[in-house]
A and B are shown apart, each in its own frame.
Chain A
Amino acid sequence: MQRSLLVPLPQSRRHFLAGVGGLGLTGLLGASAWSGTEDSPVVFPFVNGARNLVKTFPQKGAMILQRTRPPLLETPFEVFDQGIFTPNDRFYVRWHLANIPTVVDPASFRLKIRGHVRQTISLTLDDLVRKFEPIEIAAVNQCSGNSRGFFTPRVAGGQWANGAMGNALWRGVSLKALLDRAGVKTGALQVRFNGLDTGIIPQTPDFMKSLDVDHSLDGEVMVAYAMNGKPLPLLNGYPLRLVVPGWYATYWVKMLDDIEVLEKPDDNFWMSRAYLIPDTPLADVVPGQQGVKMIPINRMPPRSFFTNVQDGARFKVGEKKIVRGIAFGGDTGLAKVLFSADGGSHWQEARLGPDHGRYSFRQWNVDFRLSSAVPQNLMVKAFNTAGASQPDRANWNGSGFMRNVVESISVQSV
């Protein structure tokens, strides 16, 4: 049981939020490029960036519609200002294949563990809850292509702004416990995960992802049956999804019902041809660059965001404001968040909110006064405990993966 990863005392969190909320933030979130309404679309600051806000998806509140079928739903960014954990009904949604079961009967559902193991096992959902020690971990789930719409030059794919991510408290069973029950045999190399979704036509490759055996046995990779204390919404993978802390969401297979231990490297389409990144720092290449070695996407780098101030916000000169946001360390803990009020010439360390574990969002805030009528560039930059930080220049690749450039917004006087 990873007690250290449990949510800290709610009291400290309330204090942090109340302290921030009481300092006069009214108006900082003005008419919003983030939130939109059902009548007026969200307009992201990139070409062809208008999106409707919809409430038509099951178990979901207002979401930004990227695609109806199979669903791609983005979390409105204002949600990230309301708490460190993203509510289940606002958590982003991303499916590859349109044949998604719309009815899940827990009585007949089974999770199979098979392949290069001593004994194949088949578990009911009650088995998972009753026969295995539960673990909990707070972790960010971020789409590989989060923020793709900001790539310059633009690239094809889901045209997300920054809301293809979310943070939840996941509860479930460690993958290690399940694999130990089945008994991984000598010579196993990878573990492959498959869910109930399939393509519409038989030629479409079934969506499956694999992790190395050592990673699968690290005790942190989890088969989750609860999210923020509740069952997962169907569109987030009910009844089970894989949780791979610190790794991009492509590995977090939804509606997980099949775990197969492999003695050969997985060469299925979704591992060998899709979700590949240049094997360069932050997957960064020059547009048009050829001959770069490609590898499967994997760990997340750090990121940080403003959540209560948008680009173009207006302040009274000299008035004290709290500027705040969220940050995460990626594949390891967040070490610090730096804030600049002058376009990166000077940096100060931000205050950090409660620590929910190394894979979670963490809130940050700073005091800020607009010094004159001259517009100022505010920037925020996260550092993780391994020393990695965000690049000042945007990383780029042809798939639109792994963007984590320092966020920069311009503010000016009223």
Chain B
Amino acid sequence: MRKQSQFQGLVFVTSIVATLVMASGVPASGKKDEASQRWAVVSVELPASDENFPPGIGADIATSQCLICHSAGMVLRQPPLTNEEWRAEIMKMRSVYGAPMPDDQVDRLLQYLKGINGQQ
């Protein structure tokens, strides 16, 4: 462990040296090269979530509504919330963020969330 941390510290020092050289040692005429090297097209792939809502009455609502905007982990990693807190979350998602949830789904989703992660 100790050797590893010293090693990582030294690697870091090296990168700082490189930074200083770049910051102060690049001649004006070299700046364009620096810039054109810097600005590569960046193309990435973001991973998909492999988490699902646990089965139960109302899981279909959670899946069809919550997952529009965010993965299930956001819900599953909350502390156990009270009824009022879960209801406030649902209402915020509807009224502020625009979740297209019909009125009659609110209580069913609330019961589901309370069941999977509610404060007893």
Which A residues form the contact surface with B (CB < 8 A)?
6-7, 10, 13-14, 17-18, 21-22, 24-27, 29, 46-48, 51, 54, 56-59, 65-72, 81-83, 85, 87, 97-98, 100, 102-107, 125-126, 129-130, 134, 136, 149, 154, 156, 158-159, 169, 171, 199-205, 225-226, 228-229, 231, 234-235, 238-239, 269, 273
B window 37-92: CB within 8 A of A: 38-51, 68-71, 73-74, 77-81, 85, 88-89
Of the A-B pairs whose beta carbons lie under 8 Å apart in the complex, a sample of 27, sorted by A's number, is: A17-B9, A18-B6, A18-B9, A26-B2, A48-B117, A58-B44, A66-B73, A67-B77, A69-B70, A69-B71, A98-B69, A100-B46, A103-B44, A106-B39, A107-B41, A125-B38, A129-B35, A136-B23, A156-B85, A199-B69, A200-B69, A201-B69, A204-B98, A205-B97, A229-B19, A229-B23, A238-B42
**B43 partner residues in chain A, CB cutoff 8 A:** 102-104
CA distance A257 to B15 in the complex (A): 29
CA distance A69 to B44 in the complex (A): 14
Q: Contact at B74–A67, with CB atoms within 8 Å?
A: yes
B107 on the A face (CB < 8 A) = no
Q: Contact at B77–A46, with CB atoms within 8 Å?
A: no
Q: Contact at A67–B16, with CB atoms within 8 Å?
A: no
Chain B nearest CB, measured from A353 CB (Å): 11
Chain A nearest CB, measured from B67 CB (Å): 9
Q: Contact at B23–A67, with CB atoms within 8 Å?
A: no
A10-B17, A65-B73, A98-B70 given; A234·B89 CB < 8 A: no
User: Closest A-chain residue to B73, C-beta based?
Assistant: A67
Q: Contact at A17–B70, with CB atoms within 8 Å?
A: no
Q: Contact at B69–A126, with CB atoms within 8 Å?
A: no
A26-B1, A27-B1 given; A203·B77 CB < 8 A: no
User: Closest A-chain residue to B88, C-beta based?
Assistant: A156
Q: Contact at A104–B42, with CB atoms within 8 Å?
A: yes
Q: Contact at A57–B77, with CB atoms within 8 Å?
A: no
Q: Contact at B96–A205, with CB atoms within 8 Å?
A: yes
Given contacts A25-B1, A54-B47, A273-B96, 9 further A-B contacts (CB under 8 A): A7-B16, A10-B13, A10-B16, A13-B16, A24-B2, A81-B5, A85-B12, A126-B39, A199-B98
CA distance A269 to B13 in the complex (A): 43
B115 on the A face (CB < 8 A) = no
User: Closest B-chain residue to A56, C-beta based?
Assistant: B47
**A228 partner residues in chain B, CB cutoff 8 A:** 15, 19
Contact of B23 among A14, A82, A171, A234 (CB under 8 A): A171
**B18 partner residues in chain A, CB cutoff 8 A:** 229
User: Closest B-chain residue to A226, C-beta based?
Assistant: B38
Contact of B20 among A7, A81, A87 (CB under 8 A): A7
**A29 partner residues in chain B, CB cutoff 8 A:** 1
A6-B23, A69-B71, A100-B46 given; A156·B89 CB < 8 A: yes
A48-B79, A156-B81 given; A7·B19 CB < 8 A: yes
CA distance A218 to B43 in the complex (A): 34
B105 on the A face (CB < 8 A) = no
Most buried by A among B16, B47, B51: B16
Chain B nearest CB, measured from A281 CB (Å): 26
Chain B nearest CB, measured from A357 CB (Å): 14
Q: Contact at A102–B6, with CB atoms within 8 Å?
A: no
Chain A nearest CB, measured from B75 CB (Å): 9
A68-B49, A81-B5, A204-B98 given; A156·B77 CB < 8 A: no
CA distance A308 to B75 in the complex (A): 32
Chain B nearest CB, measured from A6 CB (Å): 7
User: Closest A-chain residue to B12, C-beta based?
Assistant: A83
CA distance A169 to B88 in the complex (A): 39
User: Closest B-chain residue to A269, C-beta based?
Assistant: B96
User: Closest B-chain residue to A46, C-beta based?
Assistant: B79
Q: Contact at A105–B5, with CB atoms within 8 Å?
A: no
CA distance A205 to B46 in the complex (A): 22
A21-B2, A68-B48 given; A204·B97 CB < 8 A: yes
Q: Contact at B97–A199, with CB atoms within 8 Å?
A: yes
